[in-house]
Structure 1
């Protein structure tokens, strides 16, 4: 799978072509070599904020501590999916929400986001194997938006790019740190196995919720076309 970036003009043309299409969504995405996830994100932005929202923003959007806590508690209530929470509170991405949830669940303080911070300030940092897996999967689920993923996880663009490529080529094992003396791998504890299974189940549920939300959006567009 090759890495791709999409220009503002390309995304605008895709939206116009989608409104005039005479094929299924899968056929449309295959024809233009894009993912359904990317298409859904572009349509949602276009429907909510207009064509100018398809332009890429590199600024770090500030959020208050109070807002972060309210968002996390709303999601944990079980009434909304992550995609619905992101839309409801106008959060920049689902990856940002996931980071807040992870901090809250690990009893780490949610702090105010400093204003004026940009992606260019993000530098390389040391990461664990589990972190690298999570970051690579997050980037793939977000249509390979390397810069956004780097900002959310506070790592460099190059790190994210390399981890995604390694994951695609060799899976989770390829993300292990091979530098220095090779250490014997410890087996997962029963608690870690259950935690990983629960995480996979949650991701699958989110995927299904996202698909249902996407279909509802498309049905609305179809009704407006008639």
Structure 2
């Protein structure tokens, strides 16, 4: 099939997959599209029902909180990119991937933006984060003043201070980009959580391997 695919055809394709009558690979072959395209239809449908498949949709505006929560939930290692998009009603995995790049780079999410353009901030080293946390505590939690001094955001200064108070210097290690099962535990609770994440990851890998072997 050539040209733009109508919303009606997308809806029919999605319903065939959801009902189990057709596989994703069969739909990609019949409609001459790639697998990523079909997965994006499924994500859009599961997030917004048929409205998510309409052509000419307006760009959705996501809050900073939604972006932050989506990224941090993905980094727990419990869900796939597609599942995170369904949970947080994100229209496509490409959007979530953009947010992950921003989060991992140390930049801040721009408020009320539908895209991935973000406000650049200083990427502090671990030593700087420790110093910022210490100065915030010494100043009576004057996050705004200390943040301005070091060229970081108020939110970063506050977060680092709270983590320093809870876990000491170990709490300020940069773990961005590391999923839960890849991390080193800092507390007994984290040790248990990481072990659970590792076991869940091993189980998912085994299930995927078995699925491929059956094919």
Same fold (TM over 0.5): no
Larger radius of gyration: 2
TM-score by length of 2: 0.43
